[in-house]
């Protein structure tokens, strides 16, 4: 069994470097606890790469990613680009290109509610308690990658949305296979009453469905799905959808759990994989030590699963749940008693190595007292 892994680390912009730092800290703790070795190779991407090289994805960074066992990514985006519609080079172009170059066709976003955080959600407890959803978003086709054109003089622009069968089938198979492991229900979200591309998605799903007779397949228009996620999220098990709909729906779903800082993601291809929190770069929090590292840390757990280190991944998730249940969290989850980004990361790393046999007084953590004995 392989025990040494080369991880490409792309801290990115805003709070990206801070949350990724906690993930690498925790990977080192995993290595110590399970006798694995993680070698980190760092690369520039996003606004930081533009500022330093003029390119949102330098060739050197792309090569680092291609030679790695997995890619750990922070966040992308900067206000100097967000508010400049004339900018020709943008940070997000680096991430889109990286997905395409690495063939990362499937983005997987799990949503799970934590009992101790249900009161942080804007939705009622009885609506969200027990919600557990896996969203599969196609990642390298559709309107984001279609032909684009702007005629400033005429005030005219278009973006083309295109799909073919070979771009749809692989992620549909992945979603069916995931549903088989869970509650055996798959929902395709589309707009088949209007869009030809959505009608193609439905056709491909119906053709594939007989290969998974134990999975119930249903369909939902995206506008209704956006409403149903708020009205009754527990009706969903596994969702599969195209690129733009998946981008929007998964961000909407993030509020169900109480904080966008909790949600991880994995972007998977045939030969490569990238793991990142779904939150943005949150530039207002940069350098303040208030960013929630949990989404990045849970993305790291998904990376451990991908690398075949299931026992380590489960220990990491248990450690995160322990921190959350005992309110060892950042300010977005507990305004009265909270800890810094690095303190939360250190707490999780320590629990991985020692569980309750550590220098933290875990009983005092539970009642909100000093944690060092």
Q: How many C-beta neighbours within 10 Å does residue 27 have?
A: 25
Using the Cα atoms of residue 317, residue 323, residue 329 and residue 334 in order, give the sign of their dihedral.
positive
Residue 144 is among the residues annotated as catalytic for this protein = yes
Q: How many C-beta neighbours within 10 Å does residue 357 have?
A: 10
d(CA 303, CA 276): 9
Beta strands in 51-160 (DSSP E): 70-75, 106-112, 132-138, 148-151, 156-159
Which of the following is catalytic: 13, 78, 190, 247? 247
d(CA 139, CA 109): 12
d(CA 61, CA 12): 11
CA dihedral 165→170→176→179, nearest 10 degrees, is -140
Which of the following is catalytic: 148, 223, 354, 366? 223
Which of the following is catalytic: 25, 112, 120, 191? 191
Residue 191 is among the residues annotated as catalytic for this protein = yes
Which of the following is catalytic: 69, 132, 159, 251? 251
d(CA 257, CA 277): 14
d(CA 190, CA 175): 15
Which of the following is catalytic: 144, 163, 339, 351? 144
The helix/strand/coil state of 7 is strand
CA dihedral 117→118→119→125, nearest 10 degrees, is -170
Residue 251 is among the residues annotated as catalytic for this protein = yes
Residue 223 is among the residues annotated as catalytic for this protein = yes
Catalytic residue set:
144, 191, 223, 247, 251
């Amino acid at each position: 069994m392989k025990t040494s892994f080369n991880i490409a680390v792309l801290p990115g912009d805003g709070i990206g470097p801070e949350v990724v730092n906690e993930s690498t800290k925790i990977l080192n703790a995993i290595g110590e606890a399970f006798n694995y070795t993680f070698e980190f190779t760092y690369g520039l991407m996003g606004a930081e790469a533009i500022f330093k090289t003029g390119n949102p994805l330098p060739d050197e960074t792309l090569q680092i990613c291609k030679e790695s066992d997995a890619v750990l990514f922070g966040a992308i985006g900067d206000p100097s680009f967000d508010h400049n519609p004339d900018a020709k080079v943008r940070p997000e172009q680096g991430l889109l290109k990286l997905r395409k170059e690495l063939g990362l066709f499937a983005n997987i976003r799990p949503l799970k509610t934590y009992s101790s955080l249900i009161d942080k959600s804007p939705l009622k407890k009885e609506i969200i308690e027990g919600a557990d959803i896996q969203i599969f978003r196609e990642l390298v086709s559709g309107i984001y990658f279609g032909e684009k054109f702007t005629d400033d003089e005429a005030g005219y622009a278009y973006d083309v949305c295109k799909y073919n069968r070979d771009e749809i089938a692989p992620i549909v198979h992945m979603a069916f296979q995931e549903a088989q492991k869970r509650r055996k229900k798959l929902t395709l979200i589309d707009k088949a009453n209007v869009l030809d591309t959505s009608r193609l998605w439905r056709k491909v799903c119906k053709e594939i469905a007989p290969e998974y007779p134990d999975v119930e397949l249903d369909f939902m228009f995206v506008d209704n799905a956006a409403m149903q996620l708020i009205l009754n999220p527990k009706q969903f098990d596994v969702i599969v959808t195209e690129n733009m709909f998946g981008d929007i729906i998964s961000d909407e779903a993030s509020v169900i759990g109480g904080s966008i800082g909790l949600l991880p993601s994995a972007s998977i291809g045939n030969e490569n994989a990238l793991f990142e929190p779904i939150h943005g770069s949150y530039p207002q929090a940069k350098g303040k030590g208030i960013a929630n590292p949990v989404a990045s840390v849970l993305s790291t757990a998904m990376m451990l699963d991908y690398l075949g280190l299931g026992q380590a991944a489960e220990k990491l998730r248990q450690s995160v749940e322990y921190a959350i249940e005992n309110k060892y969290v950042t300010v977005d989850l507990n305004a009265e008693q909270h800890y810094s980004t690095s303190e939360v990361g250190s707490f999780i790393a320590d629990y991985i190595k020692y569980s309750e046999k550590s220098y933290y007084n875990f009983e005092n953590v539970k009642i909100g007292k000093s944690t060092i004995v």
